[in-house]
Structure formats: structure tokens, C-alpha cells
A and B are shown apart, each in its own frame.
Chain A
Amino acid sequence: MKMKTLAAMALAGAMSAAPAMADLVIPDLSYRTGPYAAGGTPFSDGYQDYFNLLNARDGGIGGEAIRIVECETGYNTEKGVECYESTKGEGALIYQPLSTGITYQIIPKATVDEIPIHTMGYGRTSAANGEVFNWVFNYPANYWDAASVMVNYLLEENGGDLSGKKIALVYHNSAYGKEPIRTLEELSAMHGFELSQLAVDHPGQEQKSQWLQIRRERPDYVLMWGWGVMNQVAVQEAANIGFPMENFIGNWWAGAEHDVTPAGAGADGYKSLNMNRIDASLPVFAEIQSLVHDAGNAAGDGSNMGSVLYTRGMYAAMLAAEAIAKAQEIHGVSDVTAAMVRDGMANLEITEARMAELGMSQIGPEFSVSCENHGGSGLGIVQQWNAADAQWVALTDYIAPDDSVIDPLIAADSAAFAAENNIEPGCL
């Protein structure tokens, strides 16, 4: 009798643990633990909450329910690759690794497995060349766009002339942190500003040497390519040495609330880029609150809603959902495959009318993707931290990058990758 009961319980457990079939499977390679959890958690919350909203409101996408498969990477490249390997067999449709290191490792794997990767504002910049990187997309903007947008903003601030100015780049000493160097060197030669580079080793808890150097050399501007604790320490150290915060600009991974709050009032005036707008009054948040959070299906504790990285995660999920919808439209089936989703991504068009319809008017720029251009518009805004009100304030409209500098760099880098990997460039 006892054995029978146990067997019945085991069978019931196995049945309840079995995955639902015929779902749209979307892995979420998240990092809610470890040194970078403060950035990974809100992004993942936003990413998952939006898909949960679609399930609750629309029954999924095109009538197909979405199943999120979360895998913790700890922002560790090896664990990220393990997560990719362990989730791809579930029928994964699209990957958003939120790590440049993981992206570099899974590009060749996903290309072989024919699963698209979306690296929004991170990853391998030259993946914008869709003829070489058929399965990788980095719209709406990439690192080189960000570097160029920063310089274009500074040009605007200085009457179009940066000659003789000193600009320091403080960067995370990793593949991620080194991404903008080549672009900034080109722009330095073009506009005549002096570029100095200051590397900060992982994790960036100790940056005294770099900021003493900045204090000695007194650059006009400091640009930052940071992530994790490096951002908080850099903002604090800049405030400590009395560097004018309005001349300190981080990229879009160095511009979340938690990057500035530890420095308190000292962070007031710090600027950063953003690839999307922050607006807590967007109707989509009210829908997430009522249909997801109030229903007890929030991905996290609900405290991150509306924050910079939550909004970005939600924006990323919207772009993925729109690509899936596009794939369903192109192929005339609702139960799409990863290869079909790639087609949806390559034909994606994001318009203001569609964003407004989704309850997130002007959250991002309008852009379209093509077989050749996987990079989107490359636009970015500059936002500034108001410490008194504890909020980011958009200072500019969307600023365009200098494509005359970036396009040749993308062409050269992607051509080198194609040559190394025996890839014949072309559309699928």
C-alpha cells in the first residue's frame, strides 16, 4: 500500500513537472545572483513580466502561449554557455544573453544550431552586418553607435568643435569595456580631441589610481564603459575628487538608478546614454501591474518596475515578441520555429504607431531591420541624474551616430570575422 502511494505520488510529480507542449519557448539567461545581480535582476524582471503580460492579456503571441525558461548565468561566461546548451533543446526561439562575454561564446554555436541571438546594445558590434552574422542581431543600437553618440553630444555642447579637448575613457578591462576604443580613436583623429584610456580591472571595487590620474590630468570630459560595481565606485570617486559630474558620461550600461544612488547627492548631474526612454506613466506598466503583479505572477518582487533596466528588459521582450509576431505573419503559422523567428527579426519594423498601440509610446526610436542591417538606427539619448528627485531626466532627443565612421569599421571587422571563419557573406 505504502509503495503504491509512493509510486502514485512520484507519477503525479513527474506529470506535473512535464513541460507544456507547443509553447513559444523563450529562454531567459538571467543573473540574479553574484556581483552583477543588481543589473541582471531588473532586466530579467522586465523581460519576463512583459511575456507574462502577453500570456495574461493576449493568450501569448498569435494565440500561442509563451513559456519562459530561466537559467541563472551569474554573468559568468562558462555558466552562460551551459545555460545555452541546456535550454536550446527545449525549442528555444531567441536568446538574449545580456553579456558580451556569453554572446561571443554562443555566436558560433547558435549559428550552427540556427537559433537567433538578440544582443541589444551589447555583444559583438560588427554583428550589425547581417550578411556575415546571419543569426545575430544587435538592434536598436550597438557600442560603436554609443561612442559616436557621446562624441556627437559633446560636439553639440561645444559648438561643433572638440579640437584640443581632453577626453578620458574609463573602461572595464574586458572585451565589453574595450569595444568603444577603436571608434573613439577614429573620432579622436577626426575631431582633434586627445583621448586617454584608463582600464579598470574586474570587478572595479578599487579605482583610486585611475581617479588620481584623472585628477592630475584634468580631462575636460570623462566617458565610462562600466558595469556592475565599477559604475557605483566610479561615480563615487568622481564625486570625491570633485570632478564636474555634468562632464562625466557613462554608456547605457552605466546609467541605472543603482549606479548613482550609493553616491547620494554627490552623483547629482552625472549623465549617461540610454537607448530607450524612461517613463513610469506608460500604460503598459499599469497593465503589467494589474495583469501580472496583482495576479501574483511577477518575475521578481515587483520593486523594479519602471526603473531603467526593468524598462530596458521589457523593451527587449517587446522587440522579441514583435519579431515572433512578424515571423508568424511571414510564414502563416502561429507555432513558429527559431529559423522563422530569425526571418521575423530580419524583417522587423518598429513604428511609433505600433509602440503606442502596445502602450509604450516613444519608448524607443522607430527603426527597421533588414537582411543586411541587423543594427537598427543606432540612436541614443543623453539623460542626467537628478539626485534630489532621485530620477533620470532626458536631456536630449534621440541623437544619431556618425555612420560614416562606424559603417567602415563594421565592414572591416565583419569581413575579418568572415575570412577567419570561412563565411561567404550573403543573405539567407
Chain B
Amino acid sequence: MSADFLYGIEVVINGLMAGVLYALVALGFVLIYKASGIFNYAQGVMALFSALTLAGIMSGQVPFAHLINAIFGTDIHYFGWNVPVLAAIILTLIVMVIFAWGVQRFVFRHLVGQEPIILFMATIGLAYFLEGVGDLMWGSDIKTLAVGLPQGGSLVVEEWTAGLGGDDFFGFFIDELDMAATVVAIILVIGLIGFSQYTKQGRAMRAVADDHQAALSVGISLNFIWVLVWSLAGLVALVAGIMWGAKSGVQFSLSLIALKALPVLMLGGFTSIPGAIVGGLIIGVGEKLFEYLIGAPYLGGATENWFAYVLALLFLVFRPQGLFGERIIERV
């Protein structure tokens, strides 16, 4: 096989892996939209906030230290201990559940029945509020997230495949972090689908997603379900924050990963978990292949950001509800 062909395959494999990372972010949007019809602009910031919280707890950082020091004239920054990864993840999840409760209690409970655009605007406000709180709580410096995830290309894969394409082919490059992210994403999706299909709360969540009024009439608490959904979105945000934060350190640009999820949602639909996964894979492969075949050689490169949206738009033209979205039927 020619080296060019093999490199094309390498691009596809890496595109699939990148797509998994995009899908991780998109999943959070889907969960909330499906259950409440809210397009959560704050999902990217939730990933940032959860990763900041995890890194802060692990390193024993004192939350709001800068504020405390400014008010009381103290000079404290760290408790002087490190928290094990698992315990820190559990504590972070507790923080995200408290956040979910707060969002429901202080924001969306007061906006029941409002137009979707109002709810969307509320999530914009929430995003900036959460970003500010994250800064105040943990500071704006870049934090290293050492949760034991592997880093670097897989030497095993590289060595096994090095002989496939002659001297010009150096073996497939597959990032071990991407492989770990893929495994985690598979477990997460199976867990989410299992939860929504086979648990009482999951079925209640689906009932609310189908029809709020009907769900209320059979005694399902809308408030509880919304807290549950925002908590699950917090869990997904934490997973996405860990995976992306492991690459670049935890920093405020993490909130921009939401931009990578939008074309995935446009393509996969806002209401389908499998749609988010398949959409992520298509976007990941599509943008990487376009960059490899056309963008870098003919257009000066850096085509991925806009091409992902072009691809999503093409799908939208032919299937406005997305690949797996619920079909919109308006009866007169």
C-alpha cells in the first residue's frame, strides 16, 4: 500500500478519535435540550468550571483564596494536602450537583413557561456568571490535570504498522489519550442509555422530555428531573473537561470547546444521544480529511473550524432536524 493511502487512513482514524472528543461536549447539550428544551450555552463553561474544580480540589487549593486574602489581609492559598483523584472526582461531582440545584432553584424555576429564546438568554448569563465564579474561586492560571491518563502516541500501534507502506511510512500515529477518551465515551454513553432506559428516574426523565404536562399529571416532579438532568450534564461536562484539560492544562479557553460541539449538534440533532456520537464522528473525520486532502495543500490550511460548519449546514439543508433528531411535523 502507498504511504499516502496509509496516511489517509491515519487521518481518518485520528478524525474518529477527535470526533469522540467533540461528541463528549455535544452530549451535555443534548441531555439538557432533550429534557427541557433549553439550548445550554453554558455547557462549555460547565466543562471548564468542573475541570477547574477538580484540579483545585486535587491540589488542595483554597477556593476564593484571592478574595479571602483581599478582605481579611491573610495570605493563604493552599490547605497543604493533596486529594486522591477518585475522591476529588466525587467531590467535584457533588459541586456540580449543587450547581445543578442552584440553577434550577434560582434561575429556571422562575422561568417556567417562558419562550425558548428567554431560556437561551438565561444560559448565556449563566455562562458568564460561572466563568467569573470559576476565576474568583480557583484563579486564572493554567492548572495541570494529572489524573493518570496516558499521553503520547501509541508505540505499539506505530511499531506494528510501520512496515505496511515502505520507507516513507512511519506507522500509524494514535494518541493514547484519544484512545482512553474513546473508551470513556463508550462507557459514558452505555451508562447514560442504560440509565434512561432501565431506571425509574431515567424513565421519568424521558417522560418529561416527551411531554412536560403529561409527566406532571402522573406525579413526576419537574424540579427534580431538571436538577437530575443538569447534574448529568455536569457529569458529562466533567468528563469532557478532564479529557480536553489533560491535553492543554485546565485554562479558560476550555470553555471554547463548545464551539466544536455546535456543528456536531447541527448534524446529529439536538435530541439524540446516538446522534451526538455519530455527528461527532462525521464532523471529526470530515474536517480532518478535508484539511488533509484540500485544506493544507490548496487553501493554506486552518480549514477545520469553518469546514465543520459547512458540513453541518449541508446536512441541515437536507435534514433540518439533524441525522437522528425528532422529525418536526406541523399539522394544520
Chain A interfacial positions (CB closer than 8 Å to B): 32-38, 41, 173, 197-201, 203, 205-206, 208-210, 212-213, 215-216, 228-229, 232-233, 236, 239-242, 258, 261-264, 266, 296, 301, 303
CB-defined contacts of B141 to chain A, threshold 8 Å:
38, 41, 258, 303
Q: Is B65 an interface residue (CB 8 A)?
A: yes
Q: Is B2 an interface residue (CB 8 A)?
A: no
Q: Is B268 an interface residue (CB 8 A)?
A: no
CB-defined contacts of A41 to chain B, threshold 8 Å:
140-141
CB-defined contacts of A263 to chain B, threshold 8 Å:
151
CB of B301 within 8 A of CB of A199, answer: yes
B244 to chain A, nearest CB (A): 7
CB of A33 within 8 A of CB of B10, answer: no
CB of B252 within 8 A of CB of A236, answer: no
CB of B10 within 8 A of CB of A212, answer: yes
CB-defined contacts of B66 to chain A, threshold 8 Å:
301
CB of B151 within 8 A of CB of A213, answer: no
Q: Given A209-B288, A264-B144, are A203 and B304 also a contact pair (CB < 8 Å)?
A: no
**Complex alpha-carbon distance, A201 and B287, angstroms:** 13
**Complex alpha-carbon distance, A303 and B140, angstroms:** 12
**How many chain B residues touch A (Cβ–Cβ < 8 Å)?**
48
CB of B253 within 8 A of CB of A228, answer: yes
**Complex alpha-carbon distance, A263 and B145, angstroms:** 10
Q: Given A301-B69, A301-B77, A303-B77, are A258 and B249 also a contact pair (CB < 8 Å)?
A: yes
By beta carbon, the residue of chain B nearest A33 is: B135
CB-defined contacts of A198 to chain B, threshold 8 Å:
296, 301
Q: Is B11 an interface residue (CB 8 A)?
A: yes
Chain B interfacial positions (CB closer than 8 Å to A): 7, 10-11, 14, 18, 65-66, 69, 73, 77, 131-132, 135, 139-142, 144-146, 151-153, 170, 173, 175, 244, 247-249, 251-257, 260, 288, 291-292, 295-296, 300-302, 304-305
Name which of A197, A242, A262, A303 has the most chain B CB atoms within 10 A of its CB.
Answer: A262
**Contact of B153 (CB < 8 Å), options: A38, A242, A296:** A242
CB-defined contacts of A258 to chain B, threshold 8 Å:
141-142, 249, 251
Q: Given A41-B140, A212-B14, are A229 and B296 also a contact pair (CB < 8 Å)?
A: no
**Complex alpha-carbon distance, A9 and B155, angstroms:** 70
CB of A203 within 8 A of CB of B256, answer: yes
By beta carbon, the residue of chain B nearest A40 is: B140
CB of A232 within 8 A of CB of B244, answer: no
CB of A197 within 8 A of CB of B252, answer: no
CB of B175 within 8 A of CB of A240, answer: yes
CB-defined contacts of A208 to chain B, threshold 8 Å:
14, 18, 175, 288
Q: Supply 13 A–B pairs (Cβ within 8 Å), ascending by A.
A: A33-B252, A35-B255, A205-B260, A208-B14, A208-B18, A232-B248, A240-B173, A261-B142, A262-B142, A301-B65, A301-B69, A301-B139, A303-B77
**Contact of B249 (CB < 8 Å), options: A33, A37, A232:** A232
The 4 closest A-B pairs by CB, nearest first: A262-B249, A35-B253, A199-B302, A37-B140
By beta carbon, the residue of chain A nearest B250 is: A262
CB-defined contacts of B175 to chain A, threshold 8 Å:
208, 240
**Complex alpha-carbon distance, A423 and B18, angstroms:** 50
A179 to chain B, nearest CB (A): 16
CB of B301 within 8 A of CB of A236, answer: no
**Complex alpha-carbon distance, A114 and B49, angstroms:** 43
CB of A206 within 8 A of CB of B18, answer: yes
**Complex alpha-carbon distance, A206 and B260, angstroms:** 9
By beta carbon, the residue of chain B nearest A35 is: B253
By beta carbon, the residue of chain B nearest A228 is: B253
CB-defined contacts of B65 to chain A, threshold 8 Å:
301
By beta carbon, the residue of chain B nearest A39 is: B142
B152 to chain A, nearest CB (A): 5
CB of A32 within 8 A of CB of B144, answer: no
Q: Given A38-B140, A242-B153, are A209 and B296 also a contact pair (CB < 8 Å)?
A: yes
B184 to chain A, nearest CB (A): 18
**Complex alpha-carbon distance, A35 and B259, angstroms:** 13
CB-defined contacts of B253 to chain A, threshold 8 Å:
35-36, 203, 205, 228-229
CB-defined contacts of A242 to chain B, threshold 8 Å:
152-153
Q: Given A199-B302, A206-B304, A212-B11, are A229 and B151 also a contact pair (CB < 8 Å)?
A: no
CB of B302 within 8 A of CB of A35, answer: no
CB of B173 within 8 A of CB of A241, answer: yes
CB-defined contacts of A200 to chain B, threshold 8 Å:
302
CB-defined contacts of A266 to chain B, threshold 8 Å:
151-152
A349 to chain B, nearest CB (A): 36
CB-defined contacts of B249 to chain A, threshold 8 Å:
232, 258, 261-262
By beta carbon, the residue of chain B nearest A236 is: B247
By beta carbon, the residue of chain A nearest B305 is: A201
By beta carbon, the residue of chain A nearest B168 is: A216
**Complex alpha-carbon distance, A218 and B56, angstroms:** 39
Since A32-B135, A205-B256, A216-B170 are in contact, a sample of 17 more A-B pairs with Cβ atoms closer than 8 Å, ordered by chain A residue number, is A33-B140, A33-B252, A35-B251, A37-B135, A37-B140, A200-B302, A205-B244, A206-B18, A209-B291, A212-B292, A213-B296, A232-B249, A241-B153, A262-B142, A264-B144, A301-B65, A301-B77
CB of B304 within 8 A of CB of A201, answer: yes
By beta carbon, the residue of chain B nearest A37 is: B140
**Complex alpha-carbon distance, A197 and B65, angstroms:** 43
**Contact of B256 (CB < 8 Å), options: A35, A210, A213, A236:** A35
Q: Given A35-B256, A199-B300, A301-B66, are A205 and B140 also a contact pair (CB < 8 Å)?
A: no
CB of A32 within 8 A of CB of B247, answer: no
**Complex alpha-carbon distance, A34 and B127, angstroms:** 12
CB-defined contacts of B18 to chain A, threshold 8 Å:
206, 208
CB of B251 within 8 A of CB of A232, answer: yes
A321 to chain B, nearest CB (A): 26
B10 to chain A, nearest CB (A): 7
Q: Given A203-B256, A208-B14, are A236 and B140 also a contact pair (CB < 8 Å)?
A: no
CB-defined contacts of A261 to chain B, threshold 8 Å:
142, 144, 249
A305 to chain B, nearest CB (A): 13
Q: Given A33-B131, A206-B304, A240-B151, are A229 and B173 also a contact pair (CB < 8 Å)?
A: no
A327 to chain B, nearest CB (A): 34
B137 to chain A, nearest CB (A): 13
